Structure 1
Amino acid sequence: MENLALIDSFSEFKDDKQIDRVTLMAILEDVFRNALKKKYGSDDNFDIIVNPDKGDLEIWRNRVVVADDEVEDPNEEISLTEARKIEDDFEVGEDVSEEVKLIDLGRRSILALRQNLISKIHEHDNTIIYKQFKDLEGEIYTAEVHHIRHRAVILLDDEGNEIILPKDKQIPSDFFRKGDNVRGIIESVELKGNKPSIIMSRANPVFLEKLFEQEIPEVYDGLITVKKVVRIPGEKAKVAVDSYDDRIDPVGACVGMKGSRIHGIVRELGNENIDVINYTTNINLFITRALSPARVTSVKLNEETKRAEVILRPEEVSKAIGRGGHNIRLAGQLTGYEIDVLREGAEEDVELTEFSDEIEGWIIDEFKKIGLDTAKSVLDYDLKDLVSRTDLEEETIQEVISILKEEFEE
Structure 2
Amino acid sequence: MENLALIDSFSEFKDDKLIDRVTLMAILEDVFRNALKKKYGSDDNFDIIINPDKGDMEIWRNRVVVADGEVEDPNSEISLTEARRIEPDFEVGEDVSEEVKLIQLGRRAILALRQNLISKIHEHDNTNLYKQFKDIIGDIYTAEVHHVRPKAVILVDDEGNEIVLPKEKQIPSDFFRKGDNVRGIIENVELKGNKPQIIMSRTSELFLEKLFEQEIPEVADGLITVKKVVRIPGEKAKVAVDSYDDRIDPVGACVGMKGSRIHGIVRELGNENIDVINYTANTQLYISRALSPAKVSSIKLNEENHRADVFLKLEEVSKAIGRGGHNIKLAGLLTGYELDVIREGNAAEDEDVELTEFSDEIDEWIISEFAKIGLDTARSVLNQDVNDLVRRTDLEEETILEVIRILKDEFED
- Number of residue pairs aligned between Structure 1 and Structure 2: 364
What is aligned with 2:11? 11
Contact 1:229–1:239 under 8 Å retained in 2: yes
Report the RMSD for the aligned CA atoms in angstroms: 3.0
Rg (Cα) greater in structure: 2
Deviation at 1:24, TM superposition (A): 2.3
Identity %: 83
Distance 1:328 1:23, change over 3 A: same
Q: What is the distance in 2 between the residues matched to 1:27 and 1:336?
A: 54
Distance 1:194 1:273, change over 3 A: same
Equivalent-residue separation in structure 1 for 2:43 and 2:260 (angstroms): 69
> How far 1:334 sits from its partner (Å)?
0.9
Superposition pairs of residues 133-148 of structure 1, within 5 angstroms: 133-148=133-148
Shift, 1:408, TM fit: 9.0
1:323-358: per-residue Cα shift (whole Å, max 9, x none)? 222111111111112222223358x69xxxxxxxxx
- Distance, in Å, in 1 between the alignment partners of 2:9 and 2:177 is 39
Alignment correspondent of 2:390: none
Residues of 2 paired with 1:5 and 1:148: CA distance?
A: 37
Deviates more, 1:63-72 or 1:255-264: 63-72
One-letter identity of the residue aligned with 2:298 = S
Answer yes or no: is the 8 Å Cα contact 1:4–1:57 preserved in 2.
no
SS at match of 1:153: strand
Q: 1:362 maps to which residue?
A: none
Q: Unaligned regions of 5+ residues in structure 1, if any? A: 350-375, 388-404
SS of residue in 1 equivalent to 2:271 = coil
- SS at the partner of 2:297? strand
1:191 Cα deviation after fit: 2.6
What does 1:168-317 align with in structure 2 at a 5 Å threshold?
168-317=168-317
CA distance in 2, matches of 1:162, 1:211: 23
* Correspondences of 1:317-336 after superposition (within 5 Å): 317-336=317-336
Q: How far apart, in 2, do the equivalents of 1:196 and 1:288 lie?
A: 46
* Aligned-pair CA distance for 1:201: 0.9
1:22–1:52: 8 Å Cα contact kept in structure 2?
no
Q: Distance in 1 between matches of 2:21 and 2:139?
A: 31
- The residue aligned with 1:394 is none
The residue number in structure 1 matching 2:166 is 166
Cα separation, partners in 2 of 1:255 and 1:386, compared to 1, 3 Å: farther
Q: Which residue of 2 aligns with 1:115?
A: 115
1:95 positional shift = 5.3
Equivalent in the alignment of 1:131? 131
SS in 2 for 1:296: coil
* Alignment match, 2:35: 35
Whether the 8 Å contact between 2:50 and 2:58 is mirrored in structure 1 is yes
Spell out, residue by residue over 1:260-290, the C-alpha distance to the aligned partner (whole angstroms, 9 max, x if none): 1111111111111110010111222111111
Write the letter of the residue equivalent to 2:179: G
Shift of 1:17: 2.3
CA distance, structure 2, for counterparts of residue 90 and residue 4 of structure 1: 35
Of 298-307 and 180-189, more deviation after overlay is shown by 298-307
Shift of 1:244: 1.2
Which region of structure 1 is more displaced relative to structure 2, 269-278 or 102-111? Answer: 102-111
SS at 2:74 equivalent = coil
> What code does the residue aligned with 2:139 have?
E
- Cα 1:385–1:226 change in 2 (3 A) is farther
Distance across 2 between alignment mates of 1:158 and 1:385 = 57
User: Measured at CA, do residues 33 and 406 of structure 1 come closer, stay the same or move farther in structure 2, by a change above 3 Å?
Assistant: farther
TM-score, scaled relative to structure 1: 0.79
* TM-score w.r.t. length of structure 2: 0.79
Give the secondary structure class of the aligned counterpart of 1:36. Answer: helix
What is the match of residue 383 of structure 2?
Answer: none
Label 1:108 to 1:89 Cα distance change in 2 as closer, same or farther (>3 A): same
Distance 1:127 1:35 in 2: 24
Give the letter aligned to residue 124 of structure 1: H
- The alpha carbon displacement at 1:132 in A equals 2.5
Unaligned residue ranges in structure 2 (runs of 5+)? 360-407
Separation in 2 of the partners of 1:385 and 1:293? 26
Counterpart of 2:354 in structure 1 is 382
Q: 1:288 to 1:160 in 2, by over 3 A?
A: same
Q: Secondary structure at the match of 1:10?
A: helix
1:102-150: CA deviation from partner (whole Å, max 9, x where unpaired)? 1211111112112222222233233333332222221112222221111
Q: Residues 167, 52 of structure 1: CA spacing in aligned structure 2 closer, same or farther, 3 A cutoff? A: closer
Contact persistence 1:169–1:202 (CA under 8 A)? yes
Partner of residue 358, structure 1: none
Aligned to 1:337: 337
What SS does structure 1 have at the residue aligned with 2:228? strand
**Aligned 8 A contact 2:80 2:90 in 1:** no
